C-alpha cells in the first residue's frame, strides 16, 4: 500500500491524482495502522517550515512514522517542504526538522541571484546524479518549482539532483530509503509522472 501522509498540509489531492494517472492506487491517511502497513510513503509539504513541522508532530502517526522510516527502512519521498523537513533545521523558522539527513535549509542568497525574484517559481531543468534510479527514463528532466528556501546537505554524496537559479542549488537528496525533491512532481506533467513511477517501482 502506498500512503500519502495526511497531516493537514500539502497538495494531497494533486499527488493522489497524479499517482492515479500513472496507474497507481494510493491512500491519503492519518491512520497509524495504515502507516504501519504501508509499503511506501510520501511526505508532502507546502508553506512555512515551522507550521509544517508543528502539524506533523501533532499527527497520530508521528511515532510510527519514525519507526517505519528509521527501523523498517520503508521508502519515503518528501516533496517540496516535505523534502526540507528531512533536514535538521531551516532558516525559515525555529522548529527542528526531522533530522534524517544532516544539513539545513537556507534561503536563496539574494546577493548571488541578482535580479532574479524570490520565490523561485518556474519550470527549471534538473541535472540528476548520473544513473540515479529516481530519474530513470526522464529524457528532459524539467520540473516545476515554487520555493524561497532550498536544502544544503552536509554530505554531498546525498545530493541526487541539482538545478540553477542564479547559482546551482540542491534539487533532490537521498540517504538510503529516504528521498526528497524540492520541486513538485504532481505539477510537472510527464516528468513528474515518471518520477513518481520510478519511486514506486525502483524502491
List, by residue number, the catalytic residues: 80, 184, 186
- The cell for 190 is 510527464
Residue 156 contacts by C-beta under 8 Å, 6 or more apart in sequence?
none
Nearest 5°: phi and psi at 123?
-75, 130
Longest alpha-carbon distance in the chain: 49
Q: How far apart are CA 186 and CA 41, in angstroms?
A: 15
CA distances in angstroms from 1 to 19, 31, 56, listed in the order given:
13, 13, 21
Amino acid at each position: 500500500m502506498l500512503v500519502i501522509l495526511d497531516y493537514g498540509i500539502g497538495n494531497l489531492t494533486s499527488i493522489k491524482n497524479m499517482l492515479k494517472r500513472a496507474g497507481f492506487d494510493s491512500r491519503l491517511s492519518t491512520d497509524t495502522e495504515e502507516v504501519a502497513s504501508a509499503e511506501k510513503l510520501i511526505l508532502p509539504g507546502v508553506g512555512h517550515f515551522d507550521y509544517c513541522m508543528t502539524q506533523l508532530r501533532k499527527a497520530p502517526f508521528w511515532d510510527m512514522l519514525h519507526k517505519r522510516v528509521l527501523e523498517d527502512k520503508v521508502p519515503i519521498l518528501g516533496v517540496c517542504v516535505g523534502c526540507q523537513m528531512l533536514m535538521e533545521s531551516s532558516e525559515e523558522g525555529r522548529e527542528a526538522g526531522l533530522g534524517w539527513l544532516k544539513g539545513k535549509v537556507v534561503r536563496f542568497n539574494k546577493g548571488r541571484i541578482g535580479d532574479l525574484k524570490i520565490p523561485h517559481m518556474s519550470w527549471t531543468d534538473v541535472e540528476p546524479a548520473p544513473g540515479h534510479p529516481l530519474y530513470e527514463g526522464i529524457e528532459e528532466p524539467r520540473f516545476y518549482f515554487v520555493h524561497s528556501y532550498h536544502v544544503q546537505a552536509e554530505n554531498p554524496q546525498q545530493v541526487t539532483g541539482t538545478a540553477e537559479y542564479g547559482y546551482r542549488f540542491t534539487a533532490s537528496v537521498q540517504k538510503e530509503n529516504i528521498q526528497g525533491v524540492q520541486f513538485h512532481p504532481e505539477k510537472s506533467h510527464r516528468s513528474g509522472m515518471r518520477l513518481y513511477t520510478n519511486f514506486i517501482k525502483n524502491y
